Chain A
Amino acid sequence: MISAGSRHWFAPTASVVIALVLSVVPLPDAVGAFRPDWVVVVLLYWSLIEPRRYGLLSAFWIGIVLDTLTGSLLGQHSLALLLVVYLSQRLYLRIRTFPASQVATIVIGLLALYELVLLLIDGFAGRQVPFVERWAPVVTGGLLWLLVLVAIERSRQAAEARM
């Protein structure tokens, strides 16, 4: 069990670190606006696979790291991430039984909610974000979710094979 536990510790941590790196890696201007919200997608993935893996406290800290990296107000990304992780944990039991298309709809809804929270706080701080740069990540995040679906299917098959 211990070895299984340590193996389980590696993939979630590595995926979040990679998501954080991808969130700040420089992109050409034309592509930069379409950068998906990597961290949200990764956290949603773990919320659906292992709901206890990333709790609210880790969401809070990951948000703080994201705030530091992107130079936004401290607490801005934490609040948005907290809301997304909270809702996904609340809905976890029901989401698990949904067909993939419905799960994807919920994921897009949560991504939009995430951007909405960022938008409200940006508004509070008097900061304007161009329309495309605000909402394009929701679309690209949804597309990214298609890849995640494949990963979920793989892990489900692997789990069945183990049984």
Chain B
Amino acid sequence: MSGPGQVAGMPGRGEISLGARFVLLAALSLALIVVDHRQDQLSRVREVLSLAVHPIYVVVDFPFNAWQSITGSISDRRTLMSENARLRRQVVISQYRLQDLNVLEMENNRLRELLDSYEEVSEGRVMIAEILSTDLEHYRQRFIINRGAFDGVEVGQPLLDADGVVGQVESVSAMTSEALLITDPDHALPVAIERTGVRAIAEGTGDSSQLRLNNLTNSSDVVLGDRLVTSGLGGIFPSGRPVAIIDEFTQRPDQSFAYVTARPVSALDRNQEVLLVWKDVRVDSDEALTALEGVQQ
């Protein structure tokens, strides 16, 4: 076989042959694949790489941003006024609910004091993150958000929206983070049925309108339309947040578990903004611990 040097009419320049270079680089790729799969050591490398490819995300996102700003600026006065009126009504209603909530919170605190529990219930800091319009691999339910390590994003941090749970942060780079939707096939979320308190695991299916509950028995007390909320087990998500509505419950006498699916309540496939939530609880106790250690020394 003649080398590529002769093919293109250039002298070989004493290079390594095409075959040898291929074997070398292929071996390098294979080694990367194995290391990346087995361990988490490449996360730093990934961070640097995603910073390097950040311009591509910006380019991809640009037409969508431009479209939004155009449609935003030319939407006429009438629409703006009606939207304004709607938002005003919403504020009134929200404020009213908030007052209710304050009353409840005070009552809750009083009861907790009675129970001698000092557990902090506030959910701490939140930050709005924008979803960059990027499709990751199609069958995986992931997306990129425009907040990263600079904003204090941490791996495992929950993402919520106005309706309920959206997902969690999977990897963080300097200016962006990759997040896993609750419907990703790799994602499992500890939930509870609001009506009965029965606990279950909601697994992603790869379809953004469906979650599967694999461990509910045929005799479970489940009714179509039951609401699933986070159970707070696992410690990642705050408890009691809406997740999904049961939309199918089929008993399978031949198997030990029923076939149960649920439809997520948040608009997973058309969200533009999500809420990053920090749990101040853990941070506080960590700080308390270090302070305590300082005292002991």
Contacts and interface: CB of A to CB of B under 8 A. Distances in A.
Nearest to A83: B26
B233 interface: no
B178 A71 contact: yes
Interface in B228-254: none
A72 B140 CA distance: 10
Interface in A1-49: 17, 20-21, 24-27, 29, 32-33, 35
Interface in B1-50: 1-2, 4, 7-8, 10, 18, 21-22, 25-26, 28-33, 36-37, 42, 45-46, 49-50
Contacts of A74: 32-33, 36, 42, 45-46, 49
Contact of A24 (B45, B134, B185): B134
Interface string B171-212: 000000010000001000000000000000000001010000
Main secondary structure of the interface of A (DSSP, over half): helix
Interface residues of B, number: 45
Contact of A124 (B33, B140, B185): B33
Interface residues of A, number: 48
Interface string A119-156: 00100110111100100000000000000000000000
A59 B21 CA distance: 12
B36 A51 contact: no
Interface of A: 17, 20-21, 24-27, 29, 32-33, 35, 50-52, 55-57, 59-60, 63-65, 68-76, 78-79, 82-83, 86, 89-90, 92-93, 121, 124-125, 127-130, 133
15 contacts: A20-B56, A25-B133, A26-B135, A27-B135, A32-B135, A59-B25, A60-B28, A69-B134, A71-B136, A71-B140, A74-B32, A74-B33, A93-B2, A129-B139, A130-B139
Interface of B: 1-2, 4, 7-8, 10, 18, 21-22, 25-26, 28-33, 36-37, 42, 45-46, 49-50, 52-53, 56-57, 59-60, 64, 133-140, 142, 178, 185, 206, 208, 269
